Amino acid sequence: MNTDRPPDTVRSYLDALQRALKGASPGLISDALTDAEEHLRGELASNPERSEAEVLASVVETYGTPAEIAEEYKSMETTINGPFPKSDMVPERHNGFFGVIGDPTAYGALMYMLLSLATGIFYFVWTVCGISMTAGFSILIIGIPFALLFVGSVRVLSHVEGRIVESLLGVRMPRRLPASTTSDENLLTRIKDALLDIRTWSSMFYLVLMLPLGVVYFTTAVVGIALTFSLIGGSIYSLVTGHSRIQISDVPWLDHLFHTAPGLVLAIVIGIFLLFVILHLAKGVGWLHGRIAELLLVRL
């Protein structure tokens, strides 16, 4: 296939742009495709007397070729500072075990873990209720518009979640909502397009999945933080007051150890070590969840 042939349809232009952006983050590719499609559809709508090939030929001259647009987006991405420094800009001290204390991505991921239970409950309730009501209304005349509204709300929630993921986890997510269907399509066509769009279903799956993930993330973060600061704070308080608050009645010798000054110092050291472990765990959870969000929420 001759890849040097200028695109003569919107679809071929978008395919060429996606090939030119190969290797870029899915979020960047999604935004570039959305912007390009919106611009091209607008040009077609404003020139109804011209053929699609003629409009595309003039657009390429003014808007740019797919390769040129791809380079512009890549250049723009490198100049825009995201919520976290890019991987090649992270200082070496953040790469070691103790360097995580200065890594902002670890704290962002920990914050995400703490928020995930609340967002997970909301997403789950909204999605399950929406699916149930859509199925119930399907036999009524309001079933079709309600289904459209529900699918639209899922896309909006997915976009909002993407912004949260990018803000707290540092994973590049789409900053634009996917291009909507053209206005001349009827309701049945829009419903069909929504049902055939794999991202509709993957987004719903993500929103439902967030409840069990949120329970795991929130529980892990709360237990880890509570255990860490209980050991550190309780031991410091005991050293200052001379009264140990650490009770391990099932292991007498260990209980006795933590009623001595060396044992309390050891508890502080263990607590500090656990702090680094929790930050590394949060960073790992953030990386893993970022991949899940990219897989299920980014629409290409």
Taking the C-alpha atoms of residue 167 and residue 275, their distance in angstroms, rounded to an integer, is 23
Global pTM value = 0.81
pLDDT digits 0-9 by tens, 177-219: 765 544 455 556 666 776 777 888 999 999 999 999 999 999 9
pLDDT digits 0-9 by tens, 31-87: 888 888 888 888 888 888 888 888 888 878 888 888 888 888 888 877 765 555 554
> Per-domain residue ranges for the chain?
10-80, 88-300
Res 115: pLDDT: 96
Q: Can you tell me which residue has the tokens 């890019």?
A: 86
Res 178: pLDDT: 66
pLDDT digits 0-9 by tens, 268-286: 898 899 999 999 999 999 9
pLDDT digits 0-9 by tens, 114-160: 999 999 999 999 999 999 998 888 788 787 788 888 988 998 999 99
Res 120: pLDDT: 96
Q: Is residue 168 within 8 Å of 112, Cβ to Cβ? A: yes
Give CA separation, 114 vs 102, 168, 222, 292, in Å: 19, 11, 7, 18
